[in-house]
Structure 1
Amino acid sequence: MPGTTPARSRFAAAAAGCALLATALTTAAATPAAATTPDPVAAAQALAAPLVPGANDWNCRPGAAHPRPVVLVHGTFANGSVNWLTTAPVLAAEGYCVFVLTYGEQPGVPVLRAIAPVADSARQLSVFVDGVLAATGAGQVDIVGHSQGGMMPRYYLKFDGGAAKVHTLVGVAPSNHGTTLDGLATLAQSYPGALDLVGSACPACADQVAGSDTMNRLNAGGDTVPGVSYTVIATRFDEVVTPYRSQFLSGPDVHNVVVQDLCPANVPDHVLVAVDPVVRHEIRHALDPAHVGEADCWANLTG
């Protein structure tokens, strides 16, 4: 019949087009999308603390004298830029690749850091360490942490695969077995606005109370993990992590140091211990015991 063939042709063409489209859609659904691998260095750089002299040179390559990069981890309410202004340049001048992060931000809370749950902060540390290793080509890092920054990396070591990536952990006044609410309130008084957060918007504060679920989980089964060297540096005048001996660790390859055993006249408190020259010497000794001798009290206080 006239007109039948063109109509049938149009119908056949449309059917063929639908079949091709269905085949394409089925193939696309069956083929996984190309995976996008996050750049570990870029992820770490997003956490890097700004304006720390000698730190966060992502082109730094460790030399034979200091084959492991050093990651500096700050304490509660602080940030990497403030906490490590004196230690980072000293280590960098000695040839270390030094990296400093700021972690633990809580939504809606300005300025104050290291207040997020310890578990969340440990995952941020994991991201940072992975980026440092990728950038430097090193197999492991050393970590130096103050206060929460000395304790929280232990969570990373135990629960987030950090034990294989860390050679040495140095804790300066670390909250290893928790502290009291009075201790956290004392620390908060050093940071404007922090005292208002202690009872509400600071999960890390609750995590660091002695006997908390986080403390119990962290220390269950022993304080240390195999393969990591630990040094704890404490001051008898610590008014935040109390009693000061609660900072100490038990286990193999643990070195617990009291500042006043080295230098009785030296009396830094919890905050000032992070910038104390004798403590800085002990950090260097822990990182390189073969080449940095025991502290000379007078030389380190005056030099």
Structure 2
Amino acid sequence: MLPWKRVLRPLAALLLTAAALAVPAGSAHASAAPSSGWNDYSCKPSAAHPRPVVLVHGTLGNSVDNWLGLAPYLQHRGYCVYSLDYGQLPNVPFFHGLGPIDKSAQQLSDFVDKVLASTGAAKADLVGHSQGGMMPRWYLKFLGGAAKVNALVGIAPSNHGTTLSGLTSLLPYFPGAEALLDAATPALAQQIVGSDFLTKLNAGGDTVPGVRYTVLATRYDEVVTPYRTQFLSGSGVRNVVLQDLCPLDLSEHVLVGLIDRIAFHEVANALDPAHATRTTCASVFS
């Protein structure tokens, strides 16, 4: 193999791994949830489920494709469910969550305000996948979100960044690559272990008072790595490895947010801990 090919192949692998955050090819893209489904602004939370649930997609995701499994699952259980698009880049349709994460957090703040005004609820619950499980922590910590949020559930969240299975260590060998990544897709650069963004986010502790945190991680995550970087420390935190609940769960980073009913069952438990039921492999039938 020519030396330049030996150098470029790992870089291509880095970009392809990042692309794994996107939904599988062939899924139906849209800019808003189906009119017959969630994002129903006439929905009023019930006494059993008094808080609306806001779903926050991951990097290269969008408000529909990320939630074709979980949104109906929660709707069927009586929740008012909403999802937003955030982190859009100019001339990049469908694939969002690429812009500066602090700006995305402001978009989340505005969206939560809209949901609370519509539903009349005092607080919302947030459920996010990948970046969508980490970005809300900026909203909670720096944008006043703690007063408006009861719980944050992160599915494979990038809380302490990722090494992309070690591939990010190759970036220094490509002069200008880090600057290009930061300029072209800021959110990707900000999710690398040790970034300035993550250093500021996690300084002084992972959590803020008054919010319950749940992290759902899979040992087979190949995108947010090592998978234990997803965990949070602090009061009001529950870190869960899905294989501890069901050893047969083989979901990796993308599937755990799209179709994993073990994860879905744990999300429901986190949203309503007073009525939580044990999650096992049989939970796929619940």
Question: Do residues 80 (structure 1) and 38 (structure 2) align?
Answer: no
Rounded Cα–Cα distance in structure 2 between residues aligned with 1:82 and 1:285? 23
Rounded Cα–Cα distance in structure 2 between residues aligned with 1:82 and 1:125? 18
- 1:169 is aligned to 152
Rounded Cα–Cα distance in structure 2 between residues aligned with 1:290 and 1:53? 30
CA RMSD of aligned residues (A): 1.9
Rounded Cα–Cα distance in structure 2 between residues aligned with 1:135 and 1:77? 28
Asked if the contact 1:231–1:286 (Cα under 8 Å) also holds between the matched residues in 2, the reply is yes
Rounded Cα–Cα distance in structure 2 between residues aligned with 1:223 and 1:155? 10
Alignment of structure 1 residues 267-286 onto 2, 5 Å: 267-274=250-257, 275-286=259-270
**Deviation digits for residues 163-195 of structure 1, max 9, x if unmatched?**
00000000000000001255788xxxxxxxxxx
Give the partner amino acid of 2:75: A
Alignment of structure 1 residues 33-48 onto 2, 5 Å: none
- 2:272 is aligned to 288
Rounded Cα–Cα distance in structure 2 between residues aligned with 1:209 and 1:237? 19
Q: Is the alpha carbon distance of 1:66 and 1:183 closer, same or farther for their aligned partners in structure 2, counting shifts above 3 Å? A: farther
Asked if the contact 1:62–1:68 (Cα under 8 Å) also holds between the matched residues in 2, the reply is yes
Give the partner amino acid of 2:88: E
Match among 257, 264, 270 for residue 247 of structure 2: 264
- 2:127 is aligned to 144
Rounded Cα–Cα distance in structure 2 between residues aligned with 1:181 and 1:258? 19
Q: Which runs of 5+ in 1 are unaligned?
A: 1-47, 186-196
- 2:194 is aligned to 211
Rounded Cα–Cα distance in structure 1 between residues aligned with 2:96 and 2:205? 29
Rounded Cα–Cα distance in structure 2 between residues aligned with 1:81 and 1:266? 24
Asked if the contact 2:163–2:226 (Cα under 8 Å) also holds between the matched residues in 1, the reply is no
Give the partner amino acid of 1:213: D
Q: TM-score, normalised by structure 1?
A: 0.77
Give the partner amino acid of 1:251: G
The offset of 1:292, in angstroms, is: 2.6
Rounded Cα–Cα distance in structure 1 between residues aligned with 2:167 and 2:262? 25
**Deviation digits for residues 255-296 of structure 1, max 9, x if unmatched?**
000000001111100000012010000000000111131202
The offset of 1:93, in angstroms, is: 1.3
Match among 38, 41, 59 for residue 55 of structure 1: 38
Q: Percent identity?
A: 61
Give the partner amino acid of 1:83: N
Q: Is the alpha carbon distance of 1:184 and 1:281 closer, same or farther for their aligned partners in structure 2, counting shifts above 3 Å? A: farther
Q: Which runs of 5+ in 2 are unaligned?
A: 1-30, 169-179
Q: Is the alpha carbon distance of 1:239 and 1:113 closer, same or farther for their aligned partners in structure 2, counting shifts above 3 Å? A: same
Match among 221, 225, 232 for residue 238 of structure 1: 221
Runs of 4+ off more than 4 Å: 181-185, 197-200
Aligned residues: 245
